[in-house]
A and B are shown apart, each in its own frame.
Chain A
Amino acid sequence: MTRKRRRLWILLLCAIGVGSATALTLTAFQDNIVFFRSPSDIVAERPAPERSFRLGGLVEAGSVEREQAAAGDRPTIRFRVTDGANTIPVTYQGVLPDLFREGQGVVTAGRFGLDGMFRATEVLARHDETYMPPEVADALKRAGHWQPEQGTPPPAATWNTLQPAAGQPTRTGGSGT
Chain B
Amino acid sequence: MPREPGQPIAAPPAGARSLHRFANPGRFLRMTGRLMPWLWALALGVTAWGTAWALGFAPADWQQGETVRIMYVHVPMAWLAMGGYFGLGILSIMSLIWRHPLADLAARELSPVGAAVTALCLATGSLWGKPMWGTWWVWDARLTSVLVLFFLWLGHAALVRAFDEADRGARAGAILALVGLVNLPIVKFSVDWWNTLHQPASVTRLDAPGMHVDMLYPLLVCALGFSLLFGAVVLARTRSAVMERRIRALETARARRADMNAQAG
Residues of chain A at the chain B interface (Cβ within 8 Å):
4, 7-8, 11, 14-15, 18-19, 22, 26, 30, 33-38, 56, 95-99, 101, 107, 122-138, 155-157, 159-162, 171, 174-177
B201 to chain A: closest CB distance in Å? 7
The answer to whether B71 and A176 touch across the interface, beta carbons within 8 angstroms, is no
The answer to whether B134 and A123 touch across the interface, beta carbons within 8 angstroms, is yes
Partner of B68, one of A19, A131, A175, A177: A131
A132 to B213, CA, bound (A): 9
Known: A38-B195, A176-B215. A131 touches B61 (CB 8 A): yes
Known contacts A97-B133, A136-B62, A156-B210; 8 additional CB pairs below 8 A are A127-B199, A132-B61, A133-B62, A156-B208, A160-B212, A160-B213, A162-B216, A171-B212
Contacts of A7 in B (CB 8 A): 96-97
Partner of B212, one of A18, A101, A131: A131
Known: A35-B141, A36-B195, A129-B202. A156 touches B207 (CB 8 A): yes
Counting residue pairs across A and B whose Cβ atoms lie within 8 Å, the total is: 152
Contacts of B205 in A (CB 8 A): 129
A160 to B207, CA, bound (A): 12
A171 to B58, CA, bound (A): 13
A129 to chain B: closest CB distance in Å? 4
The answer to whether B97 and A160 touch across the interface, beta carbons within 8 angstroms, is no
What are 18 pairs between A and B in contact, CB < 8 Å?
A4-B97, A7-B97, A14-B178, A95-B134, A99-B64, A99-B134, A107-B197, A126-B197, A130-B202, A131-B215, A133-B62, A134-B59, A135-B59, A136-B62, A155-B207, A160-B211, A171-B214, A177-B57
Known: A26-B186, A127-B64, A156-B211. A99 touches B133 (CB 8 A): yes
The answer to whether B214 and A126 touch across the interface, beta carbons within 8 angstroms, is no
A29 to chain B: closest CB distance in Å? 10
A98 to chain B: closest CB distance in Å? 6
B135 on the A face (CB < 8 A) = yes
B85 to chain A: closest CB distance in Å? 15
What does DSSP make chain B's interface, helix, strand, loop or mixed?
Answer: loop
B210 to chain A: closest CB distance in Å? 4
Residues of chain B at the chain A interface (Cβ within 8 Å):
53, 57-64, 68, 71, 93, 96-98, 131-135, 138-141, 178-179, 181-182, 186, 193-197, 199-202, 205, 207-218
A128 to B200, CA, bound (A): 7
Partner of A98, one of B132, B135, B210: B132
Contacts of A33 in B (CB 8 A): 141, 194
The answer to whether A11 and B178 touch across the interface, beta carbons within 8 angstroms, is yes
The answer to whether B214 and A175 touch across the interface, beta carbons within 8 angstroms, is yes
Instruction: Select the residue from A35, A36, A135 with max chain B CB neighbours within 10 A.
Output: A35
Residue of A nearest to B217 (CB): A176
Known: A35-B140, A35-B195. A131 touches B71 (CB 8 A): yes
Residue of B nearest to A22 (CB): B182
Contacts of A4 in B (CB 8 A): 97-98
Contacts of A107 in B (CB 8 A): 197
